[in-house]
Amino acid sequence: MTVIAFLGAGSVVFTRELLADLLSFDELRGVTLALHDIDVERLETAEAIARRTAEQLGAKPVITTNLDRRAALSGASYVINSIQVGMHAATVSDFEVPARYGLRQTIGDTLGVGGIFRALRTFPVLAGIAADMREQCPDAWLLNYTNPMAMNVSYLAAIAPDLNVAGLCHSVFWTVHDLCELLGVPLDEVDYRAAGVNHQAWLLHWEHRGESLYPRLDARLAADPQLQRRVRMDMYRRLGYFPTETSEHSSEYVPWYLHHDSEVERLRIPVGDYLRISSENLAEYAAVRTAVLAGEPLDLHREATEYAPQVIHSMETGTLREIHANVANRGLITNLPEGYGVEVPCLVDRLGVHPQRVGALPPQCAAVNRSFVSVGELTVQAALTGDPRLVRQAAMVDPNTAATLTVDQIWSLCNDLTAAHGSLLPEPLRTPVTL
């Protein structure tokens, strides 16, 4: 019996989508779904959604729930990780504390001080998951969705190189989907490849029947000044390759936009947008819980399948697929640091996820990525060594933070965020640092 463990199953909207995709495959309709969350109510809601989804799709999985993570992991073949340590309250701190210093963020889950402290909250839990997997399911595949993806994959590669880990994100797929829709080109007729780091990979090849679509995008942009008023359209025009995450995300990974009022206006950047998104997620959770407990049917319509169900289906059936996934850089991208988490094309079959060598990125793309990677490398080292100065140094080299604040302000901000997150952080990193 194939056992799929869901860690953070209380992320019910995401869990609903993954379950709908999984149970739509004929070969996976009888799997065991081991749901785990640390919140009793959210776990109850996840179970109700799983049972309703199975009923609506006519599937007959075995469904178990566990507040004990080790019990959920016992005998698992696949572990889907979608935890959020600290939940909405921690997200609020990640935005409100930096805002007092005048530091603007949009999403705050990948880079910048928001990404740094989200990583530091998550690493201790990842260490626990890795230890439990070694005992309960050492051969399982850990399919990570939790952000900051690149930092989390890098940390796991450092502390648990023996585990099978792949970080999954839909940003490459939806970037190509939306660009094809913009040009009126059928997605299923397009070939594409991207590489870089998660949320800042680059669309290296994008072709329709062997012809590059970039000239058509250039013409579309030239004809529409309003379309030019988006961050990643601006980045594409200047760098020559399209970045694979939204403009909201992309704006806070570089030093060029957020600390200029004129650029925020020109490119219509929604400062603090993730606070709205996080609040809406809470409201959507409440609505879904109310609906499912009232016996209402779930909306299981899906335009596209998430990567985790595709990966599991390929490993269970031998169906060959190509996806973009996040893995440790072992000679895959030659002009990015060895060992850090990179996003590259991967083949998936019965034997697992097989990353494909990309070689060197275009030099301008690698240069932008290296600023991104430096923040993550220092953050991971802070957790591995217990040196709190590395946390401040990570913030000092972060492009957006460095473009906005003085070094004294950066250290003070890190001290304030350390106090705000307290016991969620690794114990050696919980004390303030002064010069």
| pLDDT for res 304 | 67
Domain membership of residue 298 (yes or no) is no
In the chain, the number of structural domains is 1
Residue of 282, 311, 274 whose CA lies nearest to 141: 311
Most distant pair of Cα atoms in the chain: their distance: 63
pLDDT digits (tens, 9 = 90+) for 325-374: 999 999 999 999 999 999 999 999 999 999 999 999 999 999 999 999 99
Q: Is 324 among the catalytic positions?
A: no
Q: Is the pLDDT of residue 282 over 90?
A: no
Domain membership of residue 40 (yes or no) is no
- 400 a known binding residue? no
| pLDDT for res 237 | 97
Point out the catalytic residue in the list 36, 88, 170, 324: 170
Least confident of 9-13, 202-206, 259-263, 286-290: 9-13
Domain membership of residue 398 (yes or no) is yes
pLDDT grade for 297, boundaries at 50, 70 and 90: confident
Domain membership of residue 187 (yes or no) is yes
422 lies in which domain range? 86-112+168-271+306-429
pLDDT digits (tens, 9 = 90+) for 382-404: 999 999 999 999 999 999 999 99
- 199 a known binding residue? yes
pLDDT digits (tens, 9 = 90+) for 178-214: 999 999 999 999 999 999 999 999 999 999 999 999 9
Domain membership of residue 210 (yes or no) is yes
- 365 a known binding residue? no
Domain membership of residue 247 (yes or no) is yes
Report which secondary-structure segment, H or E, holds 219.
helix 214-222
pLDDT grade for 15, boundaries at 50, 70 and 90: confident
Q: Is the pLDDT of residue 13 over 80?
A: no
Task: Indicate the Cα dihedral angle 146, 151, 154, 160, nearest 10°.
Answer: -50
Domain membership of residue 122 (yes or no) is no
Question: Once rounded to an integer, what is the mean pLDDT over residues 102-114?
Answer: 96
**pTM for the whole structure:** 0.96
pLDDT digits (tens, 9 = 90+) for 311-339: 999 999 999 999 999 999 999 999 999 99
Across all residues in the chain, what is the average pLDDT? Answer: 95
Q: Is the pLDDT of residue 115 over 70?
A: yes
| pLDDT for res 82 | 95
Specify the CATH number for the domain of residue 372.
3.90.110.10
**CB-CB contact of 44 with 14 (8 Å):** no
> Beta partners for 243?
202
Least confident of 84-88, 151-155, 401-405: 84-88
pLDDT grade for 284, boundaries at 50, 70 and 90: confident
Domain membership of residue 215 (yes or no) is yes
